Structure 1
Amino acid sequence: MKYEYWLSCIRPLAGKKKELLRSSVGSARDVYYIEEKKLREMAFLTEKDRETIRNFQKKGDLETEYDRLLERGIRLVACHDPAYPRRLKRSAGYPYALFVKGRLPDDDRLSVAIVGARQCSAYGERQALRFAEYLAGRGVQIISGMARGIDGAAGRGAINGGGDTYAVLGSGVDVCYPAQNRGLYADITNRGGILSEQLPGTAPRKEHFPARNRIISGLADAVLVMEARERSGSLITADMALEQGRDVYALPGPVDSTLSKGCNRLIRQGAGILLGPEELLEEMVSEPALAALLPGEREGQRECEKSDKNKKVLESAENIVYSCLGLYPRDTSSLLEETGLSPAALMETLVALQIRGYIKEISKGYYIRTS
């Protein structure tokens, strides 16, 4: 595998040429030790390509470099590896290899990508959280870019729903971007995986993101655009999804909202309309697959019933605070305003609810229900 890592690191060489080169000589190891005569026989290589390969053959201690990669919990999955995602392999322009922290999406489970504006509205963020939480709770894998706004809300919603979520980065998998999502980055690593075609240690760069978007759509069965301006990366992802034969859905919004102009245009062009996660799931899956998901749905109903019973046995102050919380994080400032409690009474109530397991603090001063 160290030779696959070496071949993957030859960045100036296109992925298709790497595949051709590897198949022509037999293995990545054979490419590493290829002789000059054999190299010149490869007609698809330019002289610049040959010079690039020669320079990489002279690079330092490959064994040590690859071992350091493994020590950081990063593995490489090349496109000819059986573990390489089948959906992505069937897409045009798939990367030669993926670097992975955590797991890869399961090929035999439904996957949905949720994308949208970084500077999103409260409405868009709330819907991203809602769709991701519902779908993930019923076994659907959620794919996103872990960016600020919609992508981050989708990842958090999937985790709140107890499901699996995967983030595709425009940086190396060991570079958390944006830095403010470090907690989410750790949670996604544990509950799914972080993926990138960029080399570990690579900083995020503007030109990496369109390429990143094709992987997001390539890993999904459908792409949901929650909010997008008329010109945005989300619309690029939607275009790529259509080229890859994926279904595209968009969240309708106010006609005078700049954040909804892109989504409304997609709907006008024929994208599916997102009216609710329940309708989406029914539309996406076949009847047998839907039947297989029904036990999970009944489990979700039992959890809601349990939540209602929990609410009835709470003390009055606890009941008030609990009623203000849901799966969308609320901060102490908004809870103080809504409940009318004093700061001391609110904190005492929050601590009591946490001890009893009804709520949890997901980040400093932000709380959600546990069910």
Structure 2
Amino acid sequence: MKYEYWLACVRPLAGGKKEKLRSRAGSGEAVYYIEEKRLQEMEFLTEKDRQVILSFQKKKDLSTEYGRLLEKEIRLVPCHDPAYPRRLRECAGHPYALFVKGRLPADDRLSVAIVGARQCSAYGERQALAFAEYLAGRGVQVISGMARGVDGAAGRGAINGGGDTYAVLGSGVDVCYPAQNRGLYGDILKKGGILSEQLPGAAPRRENFPARNRIISGLADAVLVLEARERSGSLITADMALEQGRDVYALPGPVDSPLSRGCNQLIRQGAGLLIGPEELLEELVSEPALAALLPGRMRGKGECEKSDKNKKVLESAENIVYSCLGLYPRDISSLLEETALAPAVLMETLVALQIKGYVKEISKGYYIRAE
């Protein structure tokens, strides 16, 4: 593994090129001892890449460096290792390797990332704690960046819920940032793990954080943005999540609050509306592939928590319309297209469902299920 560590340390070389180089050579050790003539045959490498690799081969203290890594109880997990998180491996531009203290998120468990403003409001912190505690208590893994504000609150909430939580850092895994979260850092190590693609000892540099954000979203099945300004790292995370095919949810807030403008904009663009942790979990597990990632006892618990009225048998048209609604607002046009009902029948049905308490009209012509 020390040769894999060496290849991970060849920082000027992009992760994708490292993967291809190792695949062609056969192992990290083969790359370490590769000759310049063979490197010339690797057409995907630039001349600068070749010189970088050759210069790194001259390091003589590899065993000592790797020994220090082990002394700090830091594990290296290259992307070809079976332990490398499946969700992240499937994302374009994934890190060549992760440095890990503690555990990695399990592939067979539902995972949700919670991100938001560092200078969050009391409302944002309260919601981060509540969402994380509820989800973690029901077997959902919580991923965050362990930053001040929303991220840190999410980590604490998950621990309060007795669940597993993981933090992705923009520094080395042995560098607690921010320092004020030292206690949280220790608690996360007991209940999950600390991850980073940065080398051990690396300082938290500004340019590391956008790259860190792609790992947070890549490890999750869904990303929750609880507070965000119009231009913020949380919105970068949301963009990356969408590119990775993840569901994005946002917490609505006052229209005159700068901390809510980013979230309100995400909702306007089609992000899921966060009403409460119970509703979120119910929506997530409505997808069979995600429901299968919850522990069996928790799936049963979720079913028991569904309201009795959702189990009642509706009239035929009502059943059709109700089945098309969820926590995402749906407008008349989309409902007409999906239900194939006549406009007059659809409107009568929506009115009947509202009277019975099954449906809410949250704005003119937009409907959701009522919980």
3-state SS, counterpart of residue 195 of structure 2: strand
**Aligned residue type for 1:293:** M
- Tell me, in whole angstroms, the C-alpha distance in 2 between the residues paired with 1:8 and 1:124: 37
Q: Deviations over 1:233-273 (max 9, x none)?
A: 00000000000000000000000000000000000000000
- Number of equivalences: 300
Is the contact made by 1:128 and 1:154 (CA closer than 8 Å) also made in structure 2? yes
What is the CA–CA distance in structure 2 between the aligned matches of 1:171 and 1:278, rounded to whole Å? 34
Residue identity matched to 2:52: T
Question: What are the residue-to-residue correspondences of 1:96-115 with 2, within 5 Å?
Answer: 96-115=96-115
Following the alignment from structure 2 to structure 1, what is the Cα–Cα distance between the partners of residues 304 and 57? 56
Q: Deviations over 1:142-161 (max 9, x none)?
A: 00000000000000000000
TM-score normalized with structure 1 length: 0.79
Give the distance between the partners of 1:98 and 1:141, measured in 2 at CA: 18
* Superposition map of 1:73-88 within 5 A: 73-88=73-88
CA pair 187-296 structure 1, distance change in 2 beyond 3 A? farther
Using the TM superposition, give the Cα deviation of residue 209 of structure 1 relative to its aligned residue in structure 2, in angstroms: 0.2
Match of 1:132 in 2: 132
**Are positions 1:293 and 2:304 aligned together?**
no
2: CA distance, partners of 1:299 / 1:284: 16
Write the letter of the residue equivalent to 1:132: A
1:49-68 equivalences under 5 Å are 49-68=49-68
1:250 aligns with 2:255: no
Distance in 2, Cα, partners of 1:211 & 1:38: 31
2:365 maps to: none
Name the amino acid aligned to 2:167. A
Amino acid at match of 1:218: G
1:297 Cα shift?
6.1
Deviations along 1:178-198, one digit per CA (max 9) or x if unpaired, are: 000000001111110000000
Structure 2 stretches lacking a partner, 5+ long: 306-371
Once the two structures are aligned, what percentage of the paired residues are identical? 81
Gaps of 5+ in 1: 301-371
Give the AA of the match of 1:232.
S
- The correspondence of residues 271-282 of structure 1 with structure 2, limited to 5 A, is 271-282=271-282
Query: What is the alpha-carbon distance in structure 2 between the residues aligned to residue 44 and residue 297 of structure 1?
Result: 51
Between the aligned partners of 2:272 and 2:174, the Cα distance in structure 1 is: 35
The Cα of 1:35 is off from its aligned counterpart by: 1.1
Query: What TM-score results when the alignment is normalised by the length of structure 2?
Result: 0.79
Instruction: State the match for 2:194 in structure 1.
Output: 194
The answer to whether 1:270 aligns with 2:275 is: no
Dislocated runs of 4+, deviation >3 Å: 286-292, 294-300
Shift of 1:60: 2.4
Q: Is the 8 A contact 1:131 1:277 kept in 2?
A: yes
The answer to whether the Cα contact below 8 Å between 1:113 and 1:144 also exists between their aligned partners in 2 is: yes
Alignment of 1:101-180 (within 5 A): 101-180=101-180
Distance in 1, matches of 2:249 and 2:302, equals: 23
Q: Does the 8 Å CA contact 2:282/2:302 hold for their aligned counterparts? A: no
> Equivalents in 1 of 2:40, 2:59: separation in Å?
21
What SS does the corresponding residue of 1:195 show, helix, strand or coil?
strand
